[in-house]
């Protein structure tokens, strides 16, 4: 049970607010120094080994893509398109918020970046149109959850690498669950708006001329989504190649089509991409060594034996995992949980006949909800800080949206077709 001691050490370090990769590195070193006769040099080899995986190239490309989007003019044009589609509904700007998150989620791959953008460009106007601070913050935070699920979410890439499944399969599997979350959130926004007496953001549905003008302005952004999702789905190129092509096309949009991007924006985007990519890769490198330890110690087999001794029903197992992840997600950052738990739970998943791609979507949706729950919900804290909403207001006015996401989680968990239909 050495592996259990290693996990306990990591959780203790997490509780002390140590960075994820440092906590994992400390656990790896502790194993080689105190619990193993394997030379310490092997730990270095196990940490460096994952850097040789060419699939990792997808991460910096999609991080760069998301960083560049804020300076291209794409977000503003997609907002007009979102308003055109749903602005006439009761509570119009709330619907526009969710729809814009859905459209941007197919490009940017970062829920934190999307939530920060919504706080700047939509929340002030939502407040002027009658939304409370808590409701505006909750809609923004819950809408941003769509981003990690819809391709090219970084969480999809990390899970694929850790679980050894196809990145393309994970990208495809996330499409319907992401759209399902959007549809349910739009329904919740409509119900809340009717209760609060909120009005549409548009007085009438758009005319043909307005629709044509908006679509012409937004076509590069729409084409960008089709390049990423369609290119991978049709096997025209790999996810890594899709990231490279989409990044080049984004630069072309910014400099040649919309002409709103500057060279200084590109420099800042590359610097930010370097920082974000380094932090992600450090976690992946240390987690690889951790996964090797779990393999050597047969931790996955032990976990499978423990769980199957309690139940062999895959649905009971999924319910237990949902409860576990929702609780742990309140206290521990989602990426760390995914990287720790996937190597342990995958043998159980395979033994119970659960598709690992379906399980990945369930896990990512779970951990995304964790970013919205106190005390360490990263998106929750950021949105409350940027909008000035208090935590009590967020929970009081936003419970309906959080409950809606739990309904989406149950549907995705118990209807595998939502995740697997397009694969």
Sign of CA dihedral 284, 376, 405, 195: negative
9-59 pLDDT, tens per residue? 888 887 787 887 888 888 888 888 888 777 877 878 888 887 777 777 888
Q: Tell me what pLDDT residue 402 has.
A: 92
Range name among 1-15, 241-255, 262-276 with the lowest pLDDT average? 1-15
Query: Which band of pLDDT confidence, cut at 50, 70 and 90, is reported for residue 286?
Result: confident
Whether the pLDDT of residue 373 is over 70: the answer is: yes
Looking at the chain, the number of H-run helices and the number of E-run strands are 23, 0
Classify burial at 275, counting beta carbons within 10 Å of its beta carbon; exposed 0-12, middle 13-18, buried 19 or more.
exposed
Contacts with 410 (C-beta within 8 Å, 6 or more apart), sequence order: none
Per the CB < 8 A criterion, the answer to whether 130 and 217 are in contact is no
Tokens at residue 266, please?
């590109």
> Cβ distance 107 to 183 under 8 Å?
no
* pLDDT for 409: 95
The predicted structure's pLDDT at residue 376: 66
DSSP string, 228-280: HHHHHHTTSS-HHHHHHHHHHHHHHIIIIIS----HHHHHHHHHHHHHHHHHH
Residues sharing a CB contact under 8 Å with residue 242, sequence separation 6 or more, in sequence order: 58, 152, 227, 228, 231, 232
Q: Which of 1-10, 181-190, 268-277 has the lowest mean pLDDT?
A: 1-10
Give the pLDDT confidence score for residue 411 in this predicted structure: 96
> pLDDT digits over 106-163, tens only?
565 567 767 777 787 788 888 888 888 899 999 998 988 888 888 878 888 889 988 8
Q: Measure the CA–CA gap between 287 and 284, rounded to whole angstroms.
A: 5
pTM, rounded to two decimals: 0.83
Residues 6+ apart with CB under 8 A from 407: 184
pLDDT tens for 289-320 read: 887 888 788 776 777 777 778 788 899 999 98
| Band of residue 62 on the pLDDT scale cut at 50, 70, 90 | confident
Task: Give tens-digit pLDDT for 84-111.
Answer: 888 788 888 888 889 888 887 756 556 7
| Domain parsing of the chain, residue ranges | 2-421
Measured CA distances, 132 to 71, 198, 356, 386, 394 (Å): 29, 11, 41, 14, 9
How many Å apart are CA 423 and CA 417, to the nearest integer?
Answer: 10
How open is the CA angle 335-167-98, to the nearest 5 degrees? Answer: 65
pLDDT tens string 212-231: 888 888 888 778 777 777 77
pLDDT band at 262 (very low <50, low <70, confident <90, very high): confident
The owner of tokens 């990512």 is 364
Q: What is the mean pLDDT of residues 69-93?
A: 80
Rounded average pLDDT over 317-341: 82
- Cβ pair 330, 373 in contact under 8 A: yes
Place 256 in a pLDDT band, splitting at 50, 70 and 90.
confident
Answer whether 193's CB lies under 8 Å from 322's CB. no
What is the pLDDT of the chain when averaged over all its residues?
84
Q: How many CA atoms lie within 13 A of 31 on its CB side?
A: 30
pLDDT, residue 377, reads 74
Q: The tokens 């769980």 sit on which residue? A: 307
Please report how the helices 111-121 and 92-105 are oriented relative to each other, as an axis angle in degrees rounded to 10.
150
Calculate the CA 302 to chain-centre distance.
30
The per-residue pLDDT for 361 is: 95
- What percent of the chain has pLDDT above 90? 15
Q: In angstroms, what CA-CA distances link 148 with 142, 159, 211, 242, 392?
A: 12, 11, 29, 17, 26
How far the first Cα of the chain sits from its last, in Å, is 38
Kindly report the number of other CB atoms within 10 A of residue 306's CB atom. Answer: 10
- The residue with greater pLDDT, 378 or 408, is 408
DSSP line for 217-232: HHHHHHHHHHHHHHHH
């Amino acid at each position: 049970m050495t592996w259990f001691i290693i996990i306990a050490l990591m959780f203790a370090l997490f509780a002390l607010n140590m960075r994820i990769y440092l906590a994992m590195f400390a656990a790896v070193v502790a194993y080689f120094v105190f619990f193993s006769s394997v030379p310490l040099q092997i730990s270095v080899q196990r940490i460096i080994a994952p850097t040789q995986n060419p699939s990792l190239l997808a991460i910096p490309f999609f991080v760069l893509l998301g960083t560049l989007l804020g300076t291209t003019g794409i977000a503003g044009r997609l907002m007009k398109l979102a308003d055109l589609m749903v602005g006439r509904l009761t509570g119009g700007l709330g619907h526009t918020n969710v729809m814009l998150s859905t459209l941007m989620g197919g490009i940017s791959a970062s829920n934190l970046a999307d939530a920060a953008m919504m706080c700047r460009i939509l929340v002030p106007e939502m407040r002027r149109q009658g939304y409370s601070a808590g409701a505006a913050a909750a809609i923004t935070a819950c809408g941003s959850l769509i981003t990690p699920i819809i391709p090219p979410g970084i969480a999809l890439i990390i899970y694929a690498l850790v679980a050894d499944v196809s990145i393309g399969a994970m990208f495809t599997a996330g499409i319907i669950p992401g759209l399902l979350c959007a549809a349910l959130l739009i329904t919740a926004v409509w119900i809340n708006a009717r209760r609060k007496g909120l009005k549409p953001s548009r007085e009438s549905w758009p005319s043909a001329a307005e629709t044509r003008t908006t679509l012409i302005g937004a076509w590069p952004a729409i084409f960008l989504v089709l390049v990423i999702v369609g290119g991978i789905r049709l096997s025209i190129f790999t996810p890594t190649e899709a990231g490279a092509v989409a990044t080049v096309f984004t630069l072309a949009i910014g400099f040649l089509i919309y002409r709103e991007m500057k060279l200084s924006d590109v420099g800042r985007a590359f610097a930010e991409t370097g920082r974000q990519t380094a932090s992600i890769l450090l976690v992946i490198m240390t987690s690889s060594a951790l996964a090797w330890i779990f393999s050597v110690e047969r931790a996955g087999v032990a976990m499978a034996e423990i769980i199957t001794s309690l139940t062999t029903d895959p649905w009971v197992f999924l319910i237990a995992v949902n409860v576990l992840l929702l609780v742990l997600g309140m206290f521990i950052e989602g990426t760390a949980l995914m990287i720790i738990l996937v190597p342990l739970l995958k043998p159980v998943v395979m033994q119970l006949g659960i598709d690992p791609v379906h399980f990945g979507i369930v896990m990512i949706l779970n951990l995304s909800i964790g970013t919205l729950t106190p005390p360490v919900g990263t998106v929750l804290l950021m949105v409350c800080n940027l909008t000035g909403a208090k935590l009590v207001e967020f929970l009081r006015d936003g419970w309906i949206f959080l409950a809606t996401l739990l309904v989406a989680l149950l549907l995705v968990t118990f209807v595998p077709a939502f995740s697997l239909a397009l694969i």
